[in-house]
Amino acid sequence: MIYGILFALLSTEFFKGVWQTIEPYFNIQFPWRLLDIATILLAVGIGLWATCLVEKYQIKNDDYKIILSILLLLVTNFYFDTQRLNYIVSQTMDVKKEELYDNLYSIGFAFEYLPQSLTDYSIFNHADSALGSDGAVIDGTKDGLSFTFKTDGSTYYDIPFIIYKGYTAFDPATLSTDGLAITDSGNGLVRVTVSDTSIAEITVTYQNTTAQHVSYLISGAAALGTLGFLVYQFRKKSRKADSEKTPV
pLDDT attached to residue 140: 92
pLDDT, tens digit (0-9, with 9 covering 90-100), for 101-157: 334 444 434 444 556 566 655 566 677 889 899 888 899 998 878 899 999 989 999
| Boundaries of domain holding 181 | 117-206
- Concatenated DSSP letters for 46-107? HHHHHHHHHHHHT--HHHHHHHHHHHHHHHHHHHHHHHHHHHHHHHHTT-S-EE-TT-SSSS
- Give bridge partners of residue 206 from the DSSP assignment: 167
- Would the pLDDT of 214 be above 60? yes
| Residue predicted with more confidence, 125 or 83 | 125
> Residue 228 contacts by C-beta under 8 Å, 6 or more apart in sequence?
none
Helix (H) or strand (E) holding 156: strand 156-162
Whether residue 27 is contained in a domain is answered as yes
In a domain, 105, yes or no: no
Q: What is the pLDDT of residue 111?
A: 44
| Same-domain status, 149 and 184 | yes
pLDDT at 185 (0 to 100): 86
Tell me the torsion sign for CA atoms 84, 85, 91, 97: negative
Rg (CA), the chain: 26
Residue 174 has pLDDT above 70, yes or no: yes
Does residue 101 lie within any of the structural domains? no
Which of 62-71, 182-191, 211-220, 225-234 is least confident? 62-71
Same domain, 125 and 50: no
Residues 186 and 235 in one domain: no
Give domain status of residue 134, yes or no. Answer: yes
Please tell me the total count of domains within the chain.
3
Q: For the whole model, what pTM was predicted?
A: 0.52
Q: Are residues 180 and 236 in the same domain?
A: no
92 Cβ contact list (under 8 Å, min separation 6): 13, 16
130 and 58 in one domain? no
Cβ atoms 85, 16 nearer than 8 A: no
Asked if 192 and 220 sit in the same domain, the reply is no
Average pLDDT for 226-230: 88
- Shared domain for 19 and 90, answered yes or no, is yes
Reply yes or no on whether the pLDDT at 226 is more than 60: yes
Same domain, 161 and 230: no
pLDDT score recorded for residue 199: 92
Q: Is residue 60 located within the same domain as residue 131?
A: no
In contact, 161 and 150? CB cutoff 8 Å: no
Residue 34 lies in a domain: yes
Q: How confident is the model at residue 24 (pLDDT cuts 50, 70, 90)?
A: very low
Q: What 8-state DSSP symbol labels residue 116? A: T
63 with 144, same domain: the answer is no
> Who's near 105: CB < 8 A, 6+ residues apart?
99, 114, 123, 127, 160, 161, 162
The pLDDT assigned to 147 comes to 92
Q: Does residue 73 fall inside a structural domain?
A: yes
Assign 27 a pLDDT band (cuts: 50, 70, 90).
Answer: very low
> Are residue 27 and residue 47 in the same domain, yes or no?
yes
Can you tell me the distance from the alpha carbon of 102 to that of 126, in angstroms, rounded to the nearest whole number? 18
Which CATH number fits the domain that encloses residue 184?
2.60.40
Segments in 22-60 forming alpha helices (H): 23-27, 30-57
For residues 62 and 79, state if they share a domain.
Answer: yes
Query: How much is the pLDDT for 181?
Result: 94
Q: With a cut of 60, say whether residue 89 has pLDDT above it.
A: no
Confidence band for 83, pLDDT divided at 50, 70 and 90: low
Tens-place pLDDT, residues 32-56 = 566 667 767 777 777 777 777 767 7
Residue 233 lies in a domain: yes
Does the pLDDT at position 58 exceed 60? yes
Query: Is residue 221 included in any domain, yes or no?
Result: yes
